[in-house]
Amino acid sequence: NNERKMSSPTEPPETDPAFIAKEEDFTKLPSELSHVDWTKPISWSKYEPYPPSHDADAITTTDDDGDKQTVAVAPHLPLTPEGTKPSFKPPHKALEFHVHATSGRARYTTVHLPHGPVATPVFMPVGTKGTLKGLSPMDVTNSDALNNQIILANTYHLALQPGTELIRDAGGLHNFMNWDRNILTDSGGFQMVSLLKLAEITEEGVTFENPFLSDNNDKEGETNSSNKKRTRQEATESGSMMLLRPEDSIYHQNNIGSDIIMALDDVVSSVADDKTRFQIATYRTLRWLDRCFAAHRRPHDQNLFPIVQGGLDVSRGGLRDVCLAGFRERDDKAPGYAIGGLAGGESKDDFWKVVDHCCRALPDTKPRYLMGV
């Protein structure tokens, strides 16, 4: 615990200007994707029963006329016996993924994390502010019906109360809540949808009004009229506003010490009707991911997952494909992936189309987390 505490950063890193796009470039395809052939499916590291991905090995066959042709073939997914101990080798020293069996496209696996193994498929209970409502950690671990190996906490809410610096100084959220199993933290991105009326989203990050300490509280004798004149910087410094940049989200999650941390993404409601906003958000999610990777100070014991965005657009070369292609370019940095931007009121048909599309693209050798379900 002391090692985990000492490795946490003392303050958020500055934003690298190289990652900041100009407004006129918000809707331009990221330069690293200029070579992508959008007529072909976006996928990588796929195994049967999926079609072969672009990185699949090719074999030479001979047809009935004696003509030879070279075709790509999807191999069988390598299986690992249950009970195999993890070795936690680079490049991802804090996660090892063992696939034990498959049934069609379904996988029975174990995700080995710093606080123990997690058998999947698995449902994660939500402990937003470091506690499951109405249950103690002992209630969860001592119950045969529950016995959860991983729970979820929320970065935005913990940063507001009690503050992640306090949690860090207490030895991380595991010590703070007396939980010796795994924790996954959301990045705060979902609050861009759920708390949109309190948020302002820019290239820098998202600024939230603090619902517990707003300028409307007339603190220290200030009047409402004078409060309204305060700048965003002054409001942020006073605590009435909270700026959450990708660097801040990772800083808070490094303080929390969760086993899986999520990248801050630009989230748009799945039922919104603004194609330009979805396009900006998808491209920005890739830029913010680079900032998250650059800010991550604890890759040795925390796993940073990117989140696929792109609305409901599953067309060939559409926004989901753009986000997936961007992740494929960064695959060496990601120990696992999440599918986001769903469960926001879209139809079940649209929901499953997006899930299916992403699962056909994402690597079979890494865990996948379907968010919000």
- In sequence order, what E strands does the chain have? 58-62, 68-72, 96-103, 106-113, 116-120, 150-154, 182-186, 199-201, 206-209, 241-244, 260-262, 303-305, 307-308, 337-339, 368-370
pLDDT in the model for residue 1:
45
d(CA 325, CA 327): 5
Q: Are 41 and 51 in contact (CB under 8 A)?
A: yes
| pLDDT value, residue 55 | 81
Are 253 and 228 in contact by the 8 Å Cβ rule? The answer is no
d(CA 318, CA 310): 8
Cβ partners under 8 Å of residue 252, min gap 6:
155, 158, 159, 164, 188
Structure-block tokens of residue 189 = 């991105």
- pLDDT tens, position by position, for the chain (373 residues)? 444 444 667 889 999 999 999 999 999 999 999 999 999 999 999 999 998 887 887 766 666 777 777 777 889 999 999 999 999 999 999 999 999 999 999 999 999 999 999 999 999 999 888 888 888 888 888 888 889 999 999 999 999 899 999 999 999 999 999 999 999 999 987 776 666 666 789 999 998 877 776 554 444 444 443 444 445 555 555 567 888 999 999 999 999 999 999 999 999 989 999 999 999 999 999 999 999 999 999 999 999 999 999 999 999 999 999 999 999 999 999 999 999 999 889 999 999 999 999 999 999 999 999 998 8
- Whole-prediction pTM: 0.89
Q: Indicate the length of the chain as a whole number.
A: 373
Residue found by looking up tokens 């060939």 in the block: 316
Give the C-alpha separation, 91 to 109, whole Å.
20
Please give the structure tokens belonging to residue 284: 């920005």
Report the pLDDT value the prediction gives residue 239, as an integer from 0 to 100.
Answer: 61
Contacts of 22 (CB under 8 A, 6+ apart): none
Q: Which of 141, 169, 137 is nearest to 153 (CA)?
A: 137
Let me know the angle formed at the C-alpha of 272 by 270 and 278, rounded to the nearest 5 degrees: 80
Given the DSSP bridges, would you call strands 68-72 and 116-120 parallel, antiparallel or unpaired? unpaired
> Which 3-state string (H, E, C) describes 239-267?
CCEEEECHHHHHHHHHHHCCCEEECCCCC
CA 135 to chain centre: 26
Indicate the pairing of strand 337-339 with strand 307-308.
parallel
Residue 167: partners with Cβ closer than 8 Å, 6 or more residues away: 130, 158, 173, 176, 255, 256, 257
